[in-house]
Amino acid sequence: MKLKRREIVELNHVLKTTNFDLPIKAKFRYMLTKNLKATDSEIEEINEAFPIPDSVREFRIKELELFKKYGVNGPADTASFEEEKKLAFDEEYATLNQENADTIEEFKAYEKEKLEFLGEEIEFSLHTIKVDDVPDISAENTYPHWEIWNILEKIVVE
């Protein structure tokens, strides 16, 4: 079947993280095993083709250390800071970004190229399953039922 690489990554994530209600049929477990093996392999090849540059990795570590210092997950979390603390954070964050401007540009180009690559449609072999063999999607999932089903339906046949 023809799929975009991004869809393969999404399917892998859904197959790994979705909770299903019991009972789960052997045919579903078999499909799960076969498709995880295939999608894991494709993701490994994508990661080999697009390794994160060392300079970007070092910048992200510095950025995360700054966030940790201020007890935030990112710049948006600083809105509730007192003015003095927010100014200090903003100054340090701006300095970090200025010192790493080339790295940030390199990462933007890397992300653009990778997103284009993930958007390419390729021929990919997946094991399909009949709709009657798919267990009910549990209510205990992070994502809504319909989002999970939209991704799973690529491998479900009548």
Do 78 and 89 touch, CB atoms closer than 8 A? yes
**How many of the other CB atoms lie within 10 Å of CB of 10?**
18
pTM above 0.85, yes or no: no
pLDDT at 138: 95
**How many of the other CB atoms lie within 10 Å of CB of 102?**
10
- In three-state secondary structure terms, 123 is strand
Containing domain of residue 66, as a range? 2-157
Could you read off the pLDDT of 28-79 as tens digits, one per residue?
A: 999 999 999 999 999 999 999 999 999 999 999 999 999 999 999 999 999 8
Both structure tokens of 4: 């975009």
- In three-state secondary structure terms, 32 is helix
Could you read off the pLDDT of 8-25 as tens digits, one per residue?
A: 999 999 999 999 999 999
Number of domains in the chain: 1
pLDDT at 158: 83
Provide CB contacts within 8 A for 1, sequence distance 6+: 123, 124, 125, 126, 154
- Average per-residue pLDDT for the chain: 95
User: Residue 92's pLDDT band (boundaries 50, 70, 90)?
Assistant: very high
